[in-house]
Every structure is written in C-alpha cells, then in structure tokens.
Amino acid sequence: MLGEHLSASPAVELEYSVRLERKQVLSGGRFTCWLTADSQPALTPIATALAALSVPQSILDAQAAADLLPVAQGIGISTLPAGPELRFYRHSRDRVTQSDRYRAWRWDRTAAPGASSYQFSYLPETPEGLAPEDLLTPELKRIFASLLADPRVRALSGFWLREEGGHLRQLDLSLPWRPRANSLAAVSAIAELLEIPASDPALDLHIKHIAFRLGDPNPAVTLYASAAATRWPSDEAELQSIVAAGSRTFHQAAESQVFARISLPQSRTADSAPDLDEFYGGPIRQWQAILGDGMHYHGGIFASADHEPDDDEAEEAMRRAVRTLYPLLPAGGTIYDIGCGWGGPLAMLVRDFCGPVTGLTISRTQYRHVASLGYRVRLGDAEATLPPGAFHAALLLESLCHVRDKEWLLWSLRPLCGRIVMRVNCQDASPPGTAFGGSMHMVSSAELRRLIEAAGWRIRHWRDCRMEALPSVRFWSRRLARLGPTDDRHIETLRTWTRCVLSAPEEWARNNPLIEVMAD
C-alpha cells in the first residue's frame, strides 16, 4: 500500500532497524519509508499514504503544518504482538533560523497518538552542557566511552535526544560514514553485555545510527540502517536487502572519496598558546559593548581608510563586509561557517541566503550564545573535527589565522566543501610567528597562496581589502575606551593591539594585508 503512493517519488529512502536486547536480536518488523522534499506539495504522497492508513486527524494536521520549512517526512511501522504500531516522522526547519525541528508521533488501534521531540547536537555536548555519556547506566557508559574514543566519531558525529512526556527516552548517535556494526568495538562490547553471539548476521549491517534506550534498567540498543529506494520492495525481506546493499555502497564511497584522501584530525597538544575556548569566551555584555548589537567580530568594509566612523557607520560597515562576500558564495547553498564567533555573519547568511548555515566555534560561551538565538552551531576545534557532511561552501571570515596546521585544514575541506571563501589576516613584513596574545599563527600572503594551491584548490578571486577595513580598528579602540579596563585577557589583548596599530596605521596596513579569496 505504501508503494502505491511513494514508489513513483524519486527521493524515497528506506530504513529498518535491528534491536538488541538481553539474549535476543529483533531483526524484523520495524521499518520506515522516508520522502525528502523542500516544499509541502512535494510531500503529497506522504499525505495520501497517511489518509489511506486512516490515521487520526491530528496526524494529518501535523503533516500539513505550514509554519515550518519541510525537509523530510517518514511513515514507520512496527509490528508488535498486540498489533501494528504506526509512526509519523517530521523533519522540518525553522523559517527564520533554518535550525532543524524533529517531531514524531506514534499510535496503534487502541491508543491516541503520543508525540515526542528530538534535539540534535554535535558532540561533545548540548548547548545546555549535557554530555550524552552522562545519561547512560555505568555499564553502557563504559561502552559509549569506546565510541567517543573513535577518531571518526570525535571528528564527525552528533547525537539526538528523544524526549517524550517530559522525560528523555532515547540517545541516538549518528555515524555518518555508515560503518559495519561489528567493526565497532563498542558494538562487540554491547553484544557481549547482552549475551548475543558476535557472529549474529544482524551485526554485519552498515549502520547510520546507534540508539540507546534511556530510563530503563533493562539495556536495549537499536541499530539503524537506511538507503535510497533503488526499486520498490515487494516485502520486508526485500526492503532489508535493498537497505543493506545501499548502506554498504554508501560506506565504500565514504572510504574512497573522503577518508582515503585526508588524514583524520588530531587534537591540539598543550603549548604556551592561550586556551582558545577561554580566550574567545568572556562576558557577553562586555563584548556587546565593544562590537555592538550585531556582534560582528571582524573588519568592516569602509569607503576610505582614514574615515572616523561613528558607531552606526561602523556597524553598517561590518554588515557590508559580509554582504560583499555574497557574490562569492553559492546562492541557496549549504554553508559551513568555520570560526563563526558570536554569530553575526551567520545570522545574516541565514536571513539573506534563506538556506541552512552551520557554524563552528571553539568557544563554549559563543556556542551557547549562538544556539540560544536558534541557529545551527557546533562546539569544536577546526583542527580536531571534519565538516559534518557535504557543504556547498566553507566560510572562514578572519578565522584561518587561528589555525596552526593550515595545510591540513585546507586539505581536509577539499572532499566535503565545494569551495572556500575566506578573509585571512596575513603578515608580510615579518617572518611567520604568533600574534594577538599567541592566538594567531601568521603566514605571509605568498605562503597563503602556496598553501591553498598545494591543497588542490583553484583560486578564482584574490584581493587585499586591508585599507578598506582599517577604520574598524578606530571603532574598536573607541568602544574599548568607553568600556574601561577589564580582567578579560582577550579584551585587554585587543586593547593593546589597537594601540599598536593606531601608532602607525598605514604602515601596519601595508605590512599586514587582509586577503579576500575564493577558490574551488
């Protein structure tokens, strides 16, 4: 019956799950059919299938909700001893922030639909500071720790928390390269804990998620696999065969196209440089007093280098600095904003491009601030993570200077980002070294060009916009004077730096270009 409504759609994905419980593997009776679409009319096959299932009106209303941007919807079926349980899944995005919204409803013949919501965060924690491993029983916590020790999990993974009735019911870890379940030491440990033979064929599946049941003393773990519907299955066995083959092909492509081309990132080692998490945190009100309400922490674009801007002019110049990058970015494409700071440019990109933008910041304070505004943001180090999926463009707005291993980062972006758009603080008149309190690792503009091209990028646009940005220093200096002395190391570093620059601004600008570059 589902095939009558969904099989003609080109963007259908099939999913099934395997549940591991004490001494048993439940490998049948749970599957979902997903339809990906960016408009409500394109989801009409889901609506007609739900109507054919005679679902409650509340489900039809949820399916047709127009206040959110559609991404995907799914119809799930779980065969239980008492009869089938039906499920409706809705993945949408907020129209203003483009952040993800996940909801699900489940019901059977005897019970009204029960709703649950999902919150997604990238590792290591939610914006509220909740670490996923802290939700598990001690025995599963030890196993989950082995997952977190996997370099790919650390670099790529995120997690969902499913809440139902005011309680967290499930922790779901994403595995975007879809490994074979029994290739993970954690899955082998789970099988041993649950007294399941390691040779069980269900563990040979390439999985997309691994879910842990919460709030239940009896441990249960569910493995999920999905793949595009290359044909419509005639029964559940054929559905599982299609998914197993498609998941294996996806994994093989990830191995050859991503992991064969880049080395996995390494965590920063301790050195004399400042802790960037702490350095780029600090009280938000103090930073608002320095940067203005837009919280743009980057050079603006002004009409002339010797302009003395008032506050309104300076904040408009900061916004202009973002808008002038728009022609270099793919219209409507997905953007990975590396070093998103306090989220000023990210918010503009979401509003003006009307597409999903994911920010990355090393500062826990910035992470929580940007998340509180409703935007998609990730807490992490650019040198210890990979882009969590494929993006049309990576944006580095005055953030590459904070990266020590620039060569590795530029290489790591190649398989997963269609282009890079950057403004880079360079240092041409002095040998490479650190600056700005040890937080910046400077290179010359010539070395920047060499690094970009050595990583396989083709430079399409290159210009020095330092003179246009120079009045930004006067703006920051004036705002710092109003603020007065603080005990914040970063703010006082900025104060010292502005004094140094303003002692010989034009000479400094000539020796320290701000290179704007686009490469693909």
Q: What is the pLDDT at residue 272?
A: 47
Same structural domain, 25 and 145: yes
Same structural domain, 207 and 314: no
Of the three residues 203, 233, 259, the one that is the final residue of a domain is 259
- Rounded distance, CA 211 to CA 172, Å? 4
62: tokens are: 């949820």
Q: pTM of the entire structure?
A: 0.94
3-state SS string over 383-439?
A: CCCCCCCCECEEEEECCHHHCCCHHHHHHHHCCCECCEEEEEECCCCCCCCEECCCC
- Rounded distance, CA 124 to CA 160, Å? 12
**Has residue 495 been placed in a domain?**
yes
pLDDT over threshold 70, residue 269:
no
**Has residue 264 been placed in a domain?**
no
Show Cβ contacts of residue 261 under 8 Å, excluding neighbours closer than 6 positions: 411, 414, 415
Q: How many helices (H) and strands (E) does the chain have?
A: 18, 20
**Has residue 270 been placed in a domain?**
no
Same structural domain, 237 and 293: no
**Has residue 266 been placed in a domain?**
no
Helix ranges, 422-488 (H):
445-454, 466-469, 471-483
Same structural domain, 238 and 300: no
Please spell the DSSP secondary structure of 235-273, one letter per residue. Answer: SHHHHHHHHHHHHHHHHHHHIIIIITTSPPP-PPPP-SS
Same structural domain, 307 and 229: no
Same structural domain, 14 and 120: yes
Span 109-132, pLDDT tens digits: 788 899 999 999 999 999 999 999
**What band does 151 get if pLDDT is binned at 50, 70 and 90?**
very high
**What band does 274 get if pLDDT is binned at 50, 70 and 90?**
low
- Residue 327's CATH number: 3.40.50.150
Report the pLDDT averaged over residues 321-336.
Answer: 94
Same structural domain, 339 and 471: yes
pLDDT over threshold 80, residue 268:
no
Of the three residues 259, 288, 320, the one that is the final residue of a domain is 259
Domain that holds residue 307: 276-519
Span 436-475, pLDDT tens digits: 989 999 999 999 999 999 999 999 999 999 999 999 999 9
Span 193-228, pLDDT tens digits: 999 998 899 899 999 999 999 988 888 999 999 999
Least confident stretch, 142-146, 277-281, 435-439: 277-281
Please report which helix (H) or strand (E) contains residue 153, including its range. helix 151-156
450: tokens are: 């060499």
Span 382-430, pLDDT tens digits: 999 999 999 999 999 999 999 999 999 999 999 999 999 999 999 999 8
Same structural domain, 442 and 299: yes
- Rounded distance, CA 184 to CA 177, Å? 12
In the block, tokens 């609506």 appear at 47
Please report which helix (H) or strand (E) contains residue 353, including its range. helix 344-353
Q: What is the pLDDT at residue 515?
A: 98
Q: What is the pLDDT at residue 284?
A: 92
Q: For the chain, how far is it from start to end, CA to CA, in angstroms?
A: 46
Burial per residue of 265-295, b for 16 or more beta-carbon CB atoms within 10 angstroms, e otherwise: beeeeeeebbebbebbbbeeeebebbbbebb
- Rounded distance, CA 13 to CA 32, Å? 8
Number of domains in the chain: 2
**Has residue 32 been placed in a domain?**
yes
Q: What is the pLDDT at residue 266?
A: 67
Same structural domain, 192 and 298: no
- Rounded distance, CA 410 to CA 394, Å? 10
**Has residue 265 been placed in a domain?**
no
pLDDT over threshold 80, residue 35:
yes
Same structural domain, 251 and 288: no
Span 232-256, pLDDT tens digits: 999 999 999 999 999 999 999 999 9
Residue 88, SS3 per DSSP: strand
**Has residue 284 been placed in a domain?**
yes
**What band does 270 get if pLDDT is binned at 50, 70 and 90?**
very low
CA angle 122, 123, 126 (to 5 degrees): 70
Same structural domain, 508 and 479: yes
C-alpha torsion 253→259→261→266, nearest 10: 160
Same structural domain, 228 and 305: no
Partnered with residue 440 across adjacent β-strands are 435
**Has residue 268 been placed in a domain?**
no
